[in-house]
Structure 1
Amino acid sequence: MALYSIKELEQLSGIKAHTIRIWEQRYQILAPSRTDTNIRFYDDEDLKWLLNISLLNEKGTKISKIAKMTKEEVAQMVQHLCEQSSEFDHHINGLITAMLDLDEALFDKVLSTATLQLGFQNMMQDVVYPFLKKIGILWQTGNISPAHEHFISNLIRQKILVAIDGQVVRRRDGHPTYMLFLPEGEMHEIALLYMNYLLRTLQIYTLYLGQSLPFEDLKLCYKSFKADYICTVLTSTPERSEVQAYIDTLSATFPEATIMVYGSQVQHDFLVFPANVTHLTSMQDFVSEITATAKHSQVAR
């Protein structure tokens, strides 16, 4: 069972720690355990309960009324809202609950509902990416195990693969081409897969090389494919001290290509990006870049 400080509960629920304390004192919404030094801590059940309360409160139910409801009544109201609302928070909260419970059926239901309401691209942008940020908080604070992360990543990966499978694109002369890969040792594939999906929705031809690609193999593929653009995501590899050298090597090895780099490892202020390297600070940056490329290609044609 994971344990959370009140600050971590604030980050995951979106409810200020001060408000949580008031709700505890005035309405007995939560009954946290305490350490020997009288510091509050919470468990998974507290987090899931607070996520449900937060949703009802945001939708107009007064906290004084919620405090008088049973957990079953709260769950029923939340379910009703999830079926009727087009907002994003309840989807994200549902994914967190599914992850903590390792509940594949619930996870699939939440993602399927969000996709029907928002469309696949908006579901990824407005639900999955904010959810992944919250997973990052859980991971950093040690409140989820590698099993939780693998469980969630594989389910999301499956959804993206199905969506990609429906996008058939053929290589055409005069149209831009993209090569996508992760460096050797890098296994966090969701962002790269989603990039591949976005490119294919714009009818842009891609060569997807996937996880943990040795650099020599990357050079061999480029020699044959001659991509106009090379995309990669640096989440955990290379290490922070080696990122600049890796970016410089990419730039020097593929001078005729535009290289797009994304991920937590390329967000450091000390990094310098060569002229042929585009630094992406968000997935929306990538969407803007490839949309402009597609439009330019159509005009040139």
Structure 2
Amino acid sequence: MYTIKQVSEKLGIPSVTLRAWENRYNAVVPSRTDSGYRLYNAEQLEELRWLKDQTENNGVPISRAVELLKQHRARKRVSLEFGDPGITDGDDALIGSQQEYLEKLYVLLSEFRTDEAHTLVEIGFTMFGYEAMVYNILVQLMIRVGDEWEQGLISVAQEHYITQFVIQRCFRFFTVFPVNAALPRAIAFCPPGEHHHAGLLIFSLFLRKRGLEVFYLGPDTPEDGLHTIIASHNVHMACISLTNKILQEQTILFIDRLAAGLPNLEFVLGGHGFSGLPRPYSSWLLPPSIESWDQWFCHRISKLS
């Protein structure tokens, strides 16, 4: 163990700088003696040496250097706890590894271990690719979280945290996929009173990856101004998600008012809240199976293009 004076002398970092890095950036936090004196271990000494090298020799701002250091720690913790996931040969082995990966991610998120969870997600996209990561892992993660919350196996806080984690990760892809101007535009929203929009986001990403420009309005969207947005931006498709069946009747009236003012607008409906719909609304339902979405997309978009 090293005192702050010893660390300062070994590394050539002033004691005031060491304290500033600790207090302002939570960079390297030493243990304390009963008298309150700082004590650094060998690993912390090397981390401080690395921070000095980044700031002095590589010109990296200390705030960014600390961020990189924390990412390194997270990768190290994931590796030590879960090992290197790797990719195995064969479809059955790959499916098995995805299930194992899902369990690992669930453990991290249920324990609110954000840095490790982000690191594991980055590993997952590298291992499995976008489609498998989103549909086989993130979607299944949300389904599991919803089921376990209903069964009382996890708290409301855990359910909200994990759902928001997935939603935030998915939002990043809206700026990644290019738009095909030849394809119709879509708008995606949940009707008034509906606050669960994870499924809507996943479907919107499906459309966005296939080139559609999607105006994503999200949960609890008011009717006011919606007609103007659709008409002024030449939107051809309205994607509406509903999980609460109690809201179905008022949502149908909402759709009727929207359709009356926009006769060329196509509707896509999804979510458990739309179960048992009468015609013509039932013909607007999205196939429940994600595997069927590509076929649906080819058929539906060909009519709109």
TM above 0.5: yes
> Is the contact between residue 251 and residue 276 of structure 1 (CA under 8 Å) also seen in structure 2?
no
Determine helix, strand or coil for the equivalent of 1:213.
coil
Closer/same/farther in 2, CA of residues 264 and 119 from structure 1, 3 Å limit: same
Match 1:290 to one of 289, 297, 304: 297
> Is the contact between residue 82 and residue 104 of structure 2 (CA under 8 Å) also seen in structure 1?
no
TM-score of the superposition, structure 1-length normalised? 0.63
User: Could you list the per-position Cα deviations for residues 215-270 of structure 1 after superposition, in whole angstroms to 9, with x for gaps in the alignment?
Assistant: 1222222232232111011123753564554555555554322100111211x2x3
Mapped partners of 1:121, 1:94: distance in 2? 19
Determine helix, strand or coil for the equivalent of 1:215.
coil
> Is the contact between residue 202 and residue 291 of structure 1 (CA under 8 Å) also seen in structure 2?
no
Give 2:143's aligned residue: 133
- Number of residue pairs matched? 220
TM-score of the superposition, structure 2-length normalised? 0.62
> Is the contact between residue 191 and residue 251 of structure 2 (CA under 8 Å) also seen in structure 1?
no
Determine helix, strand or coil for the equivalent of 1:88.
helix
Mapped partners of 2:282, 2:176: distance in 1? 32
Deviates further, 162-171 or 212-221 = 162-171
Alpha-carbon deviation of 1:140? Answer: 0.5
Higher RCO (CA-CA < 8 Å; seq separation 6+):
1
Are positions 1:224 and 2:232 aligned together?
A: yes
Alpha-carbon deviation of 1:101? Answer: 0.8
Give 1:260's aligned residue: 268
Determine helix, strand or coil for the equivalent of 1:169.
coil
> Is the contact between residue 92 and residue 131 of structure 1 (CA under 8 Å) also seen in structure 2?
yes
**Aligned residue identity for 1:82:** P
User: Could you list the per-position Cα deviations for residues 42-81 of structure 1 after superposition, in whole angstroms to 9, with x for gaps in the alignment?
Assistant: xxxxxxxxxxxxxxxxxxxxxxxxxxxxxxxxx9998347
Mapped partners of 2:257, 2:292: distance in 1? 23
Mapped partners of 1:244, 1:161: distance in 2? 28
Identical pairs, percent: 20
Closer/same/farther in 2, CA of residues 250 and 274 from structure 1, 3 Å limit: farther
**5+ residue gaps in structure 1?**
1-74
Deviates further, 233-242 or 139-148 = 233-242
Mapped partners of 2:249, 2:154: distance in 1? 27
**Aligned residue identity for 2:296:** E
Match 1:202 to one of 175, 186, 210: 210
Give 2:278's aligned residue: 272
Alpha-carbon deviation of 1:134? Answer: 1.0
> Is the contact between residue 146 and residue 159 of structure 2 (CA under 8 Å) also seen in structure 1?
no
Closer/same/farther in 2, CA of residues 111 and 236 from structure 1, 3 Å limit: farther
Give 2:155's aligned residue: 145
Are positions 1:164 and 2:170 aligned together?
A: no
**Aligned residue identity for 1:193:** L
> Is the contact between residue 186 and residue 212 of structure 1 (CA under 8 Å) also seen in structure 2?
yes
Mapped partners of 2:145, 2:191: distance in 1? 23
Give 1:107's aligned residue: 117
Closer/same/farther in 2, CA of residues 202 and 89 from structure 1, 3 Å limit: same
User: Could you list the per-position Cα deviations for residues 111-133 of structure 1 after superposition, in whole angstroms to 9, with x for gaps in the alignment?
Assistant: 22221122112211111112211
Match 2:82 to one of 76, 79, 84: 79
Deviates further, 230-239 or 139-148 = 230-239
Give 2:201's aligned residue: 193
Determine helix, strand or coil for the equivalent of 1:208.
strand
**5+ residue gaps in structure 2?**
1-77, 89-93
Determine helix, strand or coil for the equivalent of 1:106.
helix
Determine helix, strand or coil for the equivalent of 1:197.
helix
Alpha-carbon deviation of 1:199? Answer: 1.8
Mapped partners of 2:172, 2:101: distance in 1? 20
Mapped partners of 2:115, 2:190: distance in 1? 30
Give 1:98's aligned residue: 108
